[in-house]
Chain A
Amino acid sequence: MGNYFNKIDKWLSDRYELDALKELIMHKKVPVHRHSVWYYMGGVTLFLFTVQVLTGILLLLYYKPGENSSYESVRFIMTHVKFGWLIRSIHSWSANLMILFAFLHMFSVFFSRAYEKPRELTWVTGFLSLAIALAFGFSGYLLPWNQLAFFATKVGTEIVGVVPIIGEPLKVILRGGEDVTGATLSRFFGIHVAVLPLVLTAFLVIHLLFVQKQGMHEPEKFKSLPEEKKKYIPFFPNFVLKDVLLWLVVFDVLLMLAVFLPWELGPKADPFTAAPAGIKPEWYFMFMFQSLKFLPAYILFLEGELVGVLGFGLAGLAWMLFPFIPFKNKPGAKISLQAAIGIFAVIYIIVLTILGYTL
């Protein structure tokens, strides 16, 4: 075996400059310490993204966008295509897990302060990737054209409309008309299968190049250890193998979810029925949705919803540019201001999500 590899390697090296590439892979060492687990979160997210791309392509073989065909073709996939139910279920579950792991990854990076110099742009590209992942979720939700998705999309796009001046035209552009119709479906389909994959791939490549170039961030405690006590494992093959091991576990979990809790389809969307009770967005939008609900109709002279939407917009922007915000912490402080903000964000998200499901 090894022989063949060597031969191929030699053949390639004779023709291309492979050293730079090899160096990029080989040079990196991954620190080993109490919080090393968090180094795997980005990898899991990446794995789930590949699962998405692959299962997504498979679904495209049978899916037909259109008011009269979307729901029917998804049903067809689930009832007539062998293992169609499995592919669809994996795609749906993996989408949710991907977003979950992206959030975990982001907060772990945040609390270990990995976003600080020199990794500011890694953070920014990562944040943008998460935003795109959310857009993936939102656009994909509508594609089966079932009742729940139809109304969730109606409510979701309605929220865009509250932004002053650009909101209304933006909503119309997003919906492909005044209302959520077959036109919206075509649009969302195009965005979901063409635009977003392209953009996310581009961002991820940059994100990963940065990470690979700069190596892993070492936490404060680890850095202050004497040189001989710092333990590392090589990125290749050790860390990569561990990554793969975890991916296999995640993959099996995905299979179990698909089999034991297959994604349901529900009734077909009927634009002329009244919205069923309890329309809820997907869980990762819940904290924002719930916050908007809590706001009073008017805050000062502004519409409450508008304040909420603008507030989330600004908070998102600040979060994206977090590495560039200069913080002055008092030397004696028990907890840094950054950490306090992070803890607040986590608690806020968790509490409002729970409220969203219990109220």
Chain B
Amino acid sequence: MSETITDYTNKLTIPKPEENFRHPMEAYIRSERFPHIWCSSCGIGTILTAYISGLQKSGLDPEKVAVVSGIGCSGRVAGYLRLDSFHSTHGRALPFATGLALGNPELKVSVISGDGDISAIGGNHFIHSARRNMNLTIICINNFTYAMTGGQAGPTTPIEANSSTTPYGSYEYPFNLPFLAESCGAVYVARWTALHIRRLTNAISEALLKPGFSFIEVISPCPTLYSRRNRLGTGLDSMKFYHDTAIIQHGAETREVDIEYQQKIIVGKFVDKEKPTFTEARDKFLKKKLGDRFVPYRGPNHGH
């Protein structure tokens, strides 16, 4: 510690940052890609941070964790994570992740992507991946809009909310994503907001350790498009809103957690149950049918 710098009060001497003040998450971030593309006070960065904390907390070996994103502001998360990370096509993160997870059963594969990506263009893949109980952790960043393309309405846009394609307000019934996930077969379903960092971190860690299809919806501010169009203020105002309106209700019936425009947001862990994963069910079934003739798929590190 030869070189030091002096703080503004001139009372303390602290070591030069490069040596001892490296950011504890630096190892997980492709900081060479900074500055990132997100607007200031966007919620996505917070969720990225929570993902890293959740991963650290899970104790999983980062070399065996892969992340897949689709396309959108949220879809850029994969590009900033120093993990094996894939930026696929719009809506196809889940099937790409399915191939990755089946291809190498030693991997824990997460999908981090937007509400439009996962529930609109990727909706078919979402319901079927959940139905199969594919071993995937899905983190769906719900900002109630298609942000990347300029703030259009999507399947999560609440009735009344303004968007660039609903200039008089939206009148379509939106999805209740936790209900959708549960009814399709997800074994772990939670919802948090970008304000609930500690709980979100715990949820991510739990979901990563849970075999099968886990789903976390994260309500996240898009101050640039959604909030501005709806005069909801800054990112900080959204945080205040989440603080005042979010109600923690673990085990809530997912059919009752709809989100209405600027109304209460029920958050919590809604579903946590056991069910054999796609691969567990497949292997057990085929073993029963084929006996010794069954050869399980073991992945690339075990011959064919």
* Pairing of A with B: no
Please give the residue numbers on chain B whose beta carbons come within 8 Å of chain A beta carbons, in ascending order.
Answer: none
